[in-house]
Amino acid sequence: MRELAYYEAKFEALDEIMAADQRVHLINGTFLSLSPHRHVFQNLKDKYGERMIAPPISELGFCGLATGAAMAGLRPIVDLSTGSFIYEAWPQVANEAANAFSMSGGQTRVPVVFHLFHGLRGGGAAQHSGSPQAMLWNCPGLEIVIPSSPRDVKGLLKTAVATDNPTIFVDHTRLLDIRGEVPDDGTAIPFGVADIKRPGYDVTVIATSYTVQVALRAAATLAKEGINVEIIDPRTLVPFDLTTILQSVDKTHRVVIADETHQSCGVAAEIAARIVESGFDKLKAPIRRVSTLDVPVPYSPPLEAHIGPSEARIMDAVKGVMG
Amino acid sequence: MLPKLARESLLELCRRMFVIRHFEESLVPLHDKGVFGGHYHLYIGQEATGVPAISCLRGDDYLFTTHRNHGHLLARGVEPKKLLAEILGRADGLNKGKGGSFHSVAPSLGFLHSSGVVAGIIPLSTGTAYAAKAQKNGRITVCLFGDGSLEEGAAQEAFNLAALYKLPVLFLCENNGKYGAGRAVAAAQSSTMAAYPLTDLPKVYKIPAQQIDGMDAGLVHATVSEAVNKIRAGEGPQFIEAQTVRYPGSETNWPTVPRQTETALAWDVSSVPEKARDWYRSCDPLLIFIRELVEAKQAVKEEVAAIERQVKSEIAAAVEFAVNSPYPKPEEAERNYFA
């Protein structure tokens, strides 16, 4: 199978989506954050510029514009760029878009995609390093997608645009240059299907987004020490595939959850609760969370590195649950 | 003044104003008796804005409204019994009981979403306008909100977007604060907004804006018609502030009805409690409209009274329907929150 960089797979998806469906409009941003690969966005702009706008710095306004446009039949994809900026648009995302379908008694569909780059990116400090997906998971009515590989970003983006629900597309700048196999058949990946990123049998490590890549590196090191880790990537938080996780826990009986949201009420907290509720009897050790420490993200490189879900912290947690 | 319309159209406007009036006058006792809970807001006093304004639209245009939406939905022709069932949280309601008073919608009539956050709809209205422009379908969007909405930043961001992209949207601000609580005497100025007049705000973004008497049905009809024509011609957004005098029943936190409306009040308000009498005598837009109809010889008193009787019996039937509609099954709460 051919190999692509993550950003290439993502833009191949955007290109195919825009070519196939005139209802798709791109609102704001370049879907690349500060990455140097600007030429891929320029290619899209040359082809589909009449279906793109570069609005003012008005996250609340343009997320509302996109939501309203979705209600009227378009399929807008909004780029909020830095994930923390979605806080500026919170009323439109969490209180209008998320509620509209239910509140209307199932009459008004809102097929909008809010794309953002979450997490620790190197020097982002407290206001440009947010991982809002845990807060958004607490807003029923939003689908949440969180890819970690070139194949997944392409397949999941296709489904995000096809679904009739408001969808948060949680991306990570540190993934953009990751390379991996991508099928060239244009297939969408359905929501709610977790992916086993590395098969194993000693410990189940559930990881999301860029932390999947960190966990893969940790697993390679642990393998040399004789510990065989299974890595599961849920790929979507809403809907959530608990079945695949419980099947893995059946085998390993030990769980570590590694994720970049802050620890309290974070993504790892919710996943841990679900495993305990449905699979407590399978566990031979307490679940360990490797989340971002509960402090505002500091700027200085060693400080930032200290609070994130690093390889070292994942390895410690794996050894911890091995007892 | 009366709108420049044929007699049949004027009588239909009159009928719709009566529908709003008797619908809401029937709603208040239902709340007082505990038939429904939650907060709600009345549209009474603004009928001469909403009814003629909405009559200027095409059937496929989009409308957004707020927590004060009953009058807009009824003006557009929503069935009173379905709206009432929704407010009572019943299975036969417009939204199957999932929305209630603040969020009633009627997508087939262009109401896709009603927000209880005062400025929530203003950015959304730029979205339907953006979509209509992209789809070149000639639809316009009318965004109906109160003066309080302008205090939220969302309004300003939306005005900027609408103006930048020349979007086909009419911002119709209904300022019901004239002489109201917390307002300066004889001014429609809120005590919590430094900008005055309110039309200064859209003008900053180069959106044409005008302030009109929202109790003058003819002026509302003429102004909105002209604005709608400009928007359809591709001139971009327009802003109208329609000023009304707040209904005395809406001055407290929980609505009241100082006096049930009847046609005869147009000429004799002696039966109205003294505290509310001035409003019924000189500010009630429905009674003003009735007097104008009769004075212009477009209808005799008995014709108006006959329209009112017919509306009253329709509303009575709507109440009967709504209170007898079943509640949704409890497990319905866990269903249908994703498409």
CATH number for A318: 3.40.50.920
Question: Would you state the pLDDT for residue B185?
Answer: 46
Same domain for A25 and A137: yes
Q: How far apart are the C-alpha atoms of A180 and A212, rounded to whole Å?
A: 13
A260-A100-B34 Cα angle (round to 5): 120
- Inter-chain contact A164–B339, Cβ cutoff 8 Å? yes
CA gap B134, B142 in Å, rounded? 17
Residue B216, classed as helix, strand or coil, is coil
Amino acid (1-letter code) at residue A23: R
Residues of A in contact with B99 (CB under 8 A): 103-105
Instruction: State how far residue A98 is from chain B, nearest Cα, in angstroms.
Output: 9
Query: Please, is B140 exposed, middle or buried when counting C-beta atoms within 10 Å of its C-beta (0-12, 13-18, 19+)?
Result: buried
3-state secondary structure of B180: coil
Which two three-digit tokens encode residue B281?
Answer: 């005598």
Contacts of B115 in chain A (CB under 8 A): 95-96
A141 and A65 within one domain: yes
B331 exposure class (CB count in 10 Å sphere: 0-12, 13-18, 19+): exposed
Instruction: Look up the domain containing A58 and give its range.
Output: 3-181
CA distance to A4, A190, A210, per residue, from A116 (Å) = 21, 20, 14
For chain A, what is the largest distance between any 2 Cα atoms, rounded to a whole number of angstroms? 59
Instruction: Kindly list the residues from chain A whose CB atom is less than 8 angstroms away from the CB atom of residue B96.
Output: 105-106
Nearest alpha-carbon partner for A53 in A24, A73, A33: A24
Q: Determine the Cα–Cα distance for residues B85 and B322; give it in Å rounded to an integer.
A: 4
A186 within domain boundaries: no
Q: How far apart are CA A18 and CA B55, in angstroms?
A: 38
| Regions in chain A scoring below 50 on pLDDT | none
Domain check: are A266 and A133 in the same one? no
CATH number at residue A136: 3.40.50.970
**Residue A81 token pair:** 């760029």
pLDDT at B216: 97
Are the beta carbons of B124 and A71 separated by less than 8 Å?
A: yes
Token representation of residue B113: 């979403």
ipTM associated with this complex: 0.96
Same structural domain for residues A223 and A290?
A: yes
- Report the residue of chain B nearest A73, measured CA to CA: B131
Chain A contact present for B137, CB below 8 A: no
- A144 and A29 inside one domain: yes
The parts of chain B modelled with pLDDT lower than 50 are 181-186
Are residues A86 and A24 located together in one domain of the fold?
yes
Q: How far apart are CA A204 and CA A200, in angstroms?
A: 8
Same domain, A145 and A219: no
**B96/A64 Cβ within 8 A:** no
Q: Distance from A56 to chain B by nearest Cα, in Å?
A: 8
Residues A175 and A214 reside in one and the same domain: no
- pTM above 0.90? yes
Alpha helices in chain B (DSSP H): 7-32, 47-54, 70-76, 80-87, 121-135, 153-164, 200-204, 217-232, 274-278, 285-295, 301-324
Distance CA(B337)–CA(B335), nearest Å, equals 6
B85, two tokens: 């069932």
Q: Give backbone dihedrals phi and psi of B77, rounded to 5 degrees, phi first.
A: 110, 15
Q: Whose structure tokens read 């909100």?
A: B145
Domain boundary among A152, A181, A210: A181
- What residues form DSSP beta bridges with A144? A168, A238
A12 in any annotated domain: yes
pLDDT tens digits for B223-264? 999 999 999 999 999 999 999 999 999 988 899 999 999 999
Question: Does residue A260 carry a catalytic annotation?
Answer: no
Query: What DSSP line would sit under B233-287, residue for residue?
Result: TT---EEEEEEEEPPGGGSSSS---SS---GGGGT--TTS-HHHHHIIIII-HHH
Which residue from B minimizes the CA distance to A112?
A: B127
Give the alpha-carbon dihedral of A282, A286, A290, A293, to 10 degrees.
140
CB contact under 8 A, B160 and A66: no
Right CATH number for B7-321 from 3.40.50.970, 2.70.170.10, 3.50.30.40, 3.40.50.12590?
3.40.50.970
Supply A231's token pair. Answer: 């890595």
Q: Is the CB of residue B339 less than 8 Å away from at least one CB of chain A?
A: yes
Q: Tokens 């040399």: give the residue.
A: A224
Asked if the structure places residue A27 within a domain, the reply is yes
Q: Write the CB contacts of B45 (distance below 8 Å, at least 6 apart in sequence).
A: B176, B244, B245, B246, B247, B250, B279, B283, B284, B285
Name the residue among A73, A96, A140 with its Cβ closest to that of B131. Answer: A73
Which residue among B105, B154, B158 places its CB closest to the CB of A104?
B105
**Are the Cβ atoms of A104 and B337 closer than 8 angstroms?**
no
Catalytic site residue A128? yes
Q: Mutating which of B125, B128, B149, B332 best tests the A interface, going by the most A Cβ atoms within 10 A?
A: B128
Structure-token pair, residue B198: 């309110």
Which of B113, B122, B169 best tests the A interface by mutation, with the highest count of A CBs <10 A? B113
DSSP conformational letter for B1:
-
Respond yes or no on whether the N-terminal peptide bond of residue A76 is cis (omega within 30° of 0): no
Closest-approach residue (CA) in chain B for A162: B339
Interchain contact, B96 vs A71, CB within 8 Å: no
The answer to whether the Cβ–Cβ distance between A91 and B107 falls below 8 Å is no
Contacts of A67 in chain B (CB under 8 A): 123-124, 127
- By Cβ distance, the residue of A72, A106, A107 closest to B127 is A72
Count contacts between A and B (CB, < 8 Å). Answer: 150
Residues A155 and A285 reside in one and the same domain: no
* Torsion of Cα atoms, A205 then A149 then A235 then A88, to 10°: 110
Interface check B111 vs A, CB under 8 A: no
**Which stretches of chain A sit within 8 Å of chain B by CB?**
25, 51, 53, 55-56, 58, 60-74, 91-92, 95-96, 100-109, 111, 140-141, 143, 163-165
Pair A307, A163 in one domain: no
pLDDT of the residue at B181: 44
CB within 8 Å: A143 and B338: yes
The answer to whether the peptide bond before residue B197 is cis (omega within 30 degrees of 0) is yes
B288 residue type, one letter: I
Among B103, B124, B131, the residue with its CB nearest the CB of A64 is B124
Give dist(CA B98, CA B338) in Å, integer.
13
How many CB atoms sit inside 10 A of residue A145's CB?
25
B73 touches chain A (CB under 8 A): no
Q: Which residue of A has its CA nearest to B125?
A: A68
**3-state SS track over chain A:** CCEEEHHHHHHHHHHHHHHHCCCEEEECCCCCCCCCCHHHHHHHHHHHHHHEECCCCCHHHHHHHHHHHHHCCCEEEEEEEEHHHHHHHHHHHHHHHHHHHHHCCCCCCCCCEEEEECCCCCCCCCCCCCCCHHHHHCCCCCEEECCCCHHHHHHHHHHHHHCCCCEEEEECHHHCCCEEECCCCCCCCCCCCCEEEECCCCEEEEECCHHHHHHHHHHHHHHHCCCCEEEEECCEEECCCHHHHHHHHHHHCCEEEEEEEECCCCHHHHHHHHHHHHHHHHCCCCCEEEEECCCCCCCCHHHHHHHCCCHHHHHHHHHHHHC
Residues of A with CB below 8 A from B127's CB? Answer: 64-72
Backbone angles phi, psi at B210, to 5 degrees: -140, 155
Q: How many domains does chain A divide into? A: 2
- Which H/E stretch holds residue B210? strand B209-213
- What tokens were used for B105? 């919608």
Note whether A18 and A145 are same-domain residues. yes
Exactly one of A12, A59, A270, A311 is catalytic; name it: A59
From CA B291, how far away is CA B283, in angstroms rounded?
12
| CB neighbour burial string for B75-110, b if at least 16 within 10 angstroms, e if fewer | bbebebbbbbbbbbbbebbbbbbbbbbbbbbbeebb
